[in-house]
Chain A
Amino acid sequence: MRTNRLTLYTLVVLFAVTAAACGKKKAPLLAPTSAAEAEAPPPAAPPPTPAARVTEPPPVPTPAPIREDNLSANSSLDDLNRNSPLKPAFFALDSAEIDGPAKAVLDADATLLRQNRTWVVTVEGHCDERGTAEYNLALGERRAAAAIAYLKSLGIPAERLKTVSYGKEFPFDPGHDENAWKSNRRAHFVITAK
């Protein structure tokens, strides 16, 4: 489709250029047929080569106006999630308990969620490869639910929080050691609306 459009576009331009060139060449050979025509002003100069340029979309979109009322206003959701200010809570093996370090992370996340009242987040539950694919679906759900329960206890409205479990299907660290496993047992935040 893109190729066809390009080809068509090229043909149109070529045609325009050729026609313009021919017009120039032939003009002196044609004798004026009437006084009116002879007196007519010379034809307008041929348009610049890219005759169809008006149909091109502008190469750079108009920048959105910058607002400074929250962190996310001048970046896309993907940009926001790529360097997410919401940090993941980590879990012990086979556990969905929100321990001390996880509480500290979620306290900071709750503060951010209070400052950015329009954010809606999905909390993804993830597990390491030392559990089974099947049980990990439920364990991941339990981890995400535990993180959400804690955030709710801090006053974050339930309607801004969704869960999804990915079990062990999408590890963050593909390694097979303690560091990888630790990194893969988490409640991970994805901002879905801002």
Chain B
Amino acid sequence: MKYIISVLAITLSLAAVAAQAPQQPQDLATTITGGSGGPPRIALPQFLALSNDPETVAAAKTITDVLWDDLNYEHEFSFVERDVNSTIPPARTVDDPPFDRWREVNADGLIAGSVQKTGNGFVIRYRMFNVRDRRAVLGTEFSGSANPRRYAHTIADEIFLKQRAVRGVARTKLAYTSDQANERLTGTVEARNVKEIYIADYDGQSQQRVTVGRTLNAFPAWSPDARSLAYVSWRRGQPNIFVSHIYDGTLDELTKNAAENYLPAWSPDGTRIAFSSTRDGNAEIYVANKDGGNVRRLTNSAAIDTTPTWSPNGNEIAFTSDRSGSPQIYVVAADGLGAVQRLTAESYADRPTWSPAPYNEIAFESRTGARFDIKILDVNTRQVKQLTFGEGSNESPAFAPNGRHLAFMSDRSGKFQIYTMTRDGRDVRQLTRQGTNTLPNWSN
């Protein structure tokens, strides 16, 4: 029982009834295309509230707004403007939209939805129509009592997958370190605030605290099944790696206070964890089974070897080493055999984070002038592209599971906060605002 650190009452059970699945088989005819080769122009009028009670009306508004933000996130659609939407009378049901009117405003696709109150939750229906041929291309019915935002995220991911063959991130989560609880660390006379692990939706909403260690907890890393978080905690004195099974409320200790252990990184198949440890004298890279067993040492140098990241196929591990003087990114086979190869020639490079397939890229933080910026290395061509340009210090990048976005931390607005941007450095969004929030990691 002592390992139960927190109970996260997260209702994940959307209980998708999935009654009316798409009518047509998945083929070209069901894919809505843009009129002139551009992205499809989508109309998303407000979901119908099928009753007038405030809860239903609020849920319909939330689902519409969140779905709009979600669909906007991947830059796969353009949208009929909100003020144009409001000139078109709402349909009575999701099945009889005024197609002529939507065609007049050049909509290629239309998403119509409704929210109906039930005994202990809602039934949410939506249809996506091709406005030109008036056929429904997608449609699902959900029922349950989850946060309305979850339904919007589920709908968005379904639309991305079936319309654009894109794996959406609307249901993914970010983990990070935060001092926002403003609690003082015990056992020190210095004015130090505890730092705890938090998780939030990809858009920064629905934030929840994970650890209650009242100590320094940092460097969270999601397991590939997004049900566990490995992180570093100083609760035993020296830094050690803990694995929190956040939906079960249980905790494992990966390392048992054998020197300093930090920067855990899960193998893509979820069976192993790479980390850095000083157990043999100075910082080296190790790989252990996820239960802490079968520890193997990968590197052997008098230099600092730290910050491991796995290649998407699990065959290689990139890491940071100062064996050449300044910290640079290197790569070695995941079994530790074969030569160590240097990848970067920066003035100072750290936090390599290998993108998921299909991109073969490693994002990292690079010292540019006094502070840091995020760069991306194409592993095949060795070309480096800079994504941020000196607006504050930009550090600790983490890829979204679809490889199309990066989370990072920046002090461009004062204290360090979590931001996301696209993999080419556009659409920068600030997710956190309370306290100092650092060291993001993005779930599958």
Contact = CB atoms under 8 A, between A and B. Distances in A.
A binds B: yes
B393 A135 contact: no
8 contacts: A81-B189, A82-B189, A134-B219, A135-B350, A137-B262, A138-B278, A142-B282, A170-B192
B216 A132 contact: no
A164 B188 CA distance: 13
Given A82-B189, A134-B219, 10 more contacts: A132-B372, A133-B219, A133-B396, A134-B263, A134-B351, A134-B396, A137-B263, A142-B304, A145-B282, A169-B218
Nearest to B193: A170
A139 interface: yes
A109 interface: no
A132 B262 CA distance: 14
A162 B216 CA distance: 18
Contacts of B283: 137-138, 141-142
A94 B348 CA distance: 10
A165 B260 contact: yes
B439 A135 contact: no
A54 B371 CA distance: 63
Contacts of A162: 237-238
Contacts of A172: 190
A82 B190 CA distance: 8
A164 B261 CA distance: 11
Q: List 6 tightest A-B contacts by C-beta distance, closest first.
A: A138-B283, A132-B350, A138-B304, A134-B307, A135-B350, A82-B189
A190 interface: yes
A166 interface: yes
Interface in A133-171: 133-135, 137-139, 141-142, 145, 162-166, 169-170
Interface string A94-135: 100000000000000000000000000010000001111111
B365 A132 contact: yes
A133 B260 contact: no
Interface in B307-329: 307, 320, 322, 326-327
B301 to A, nearest CB: 12
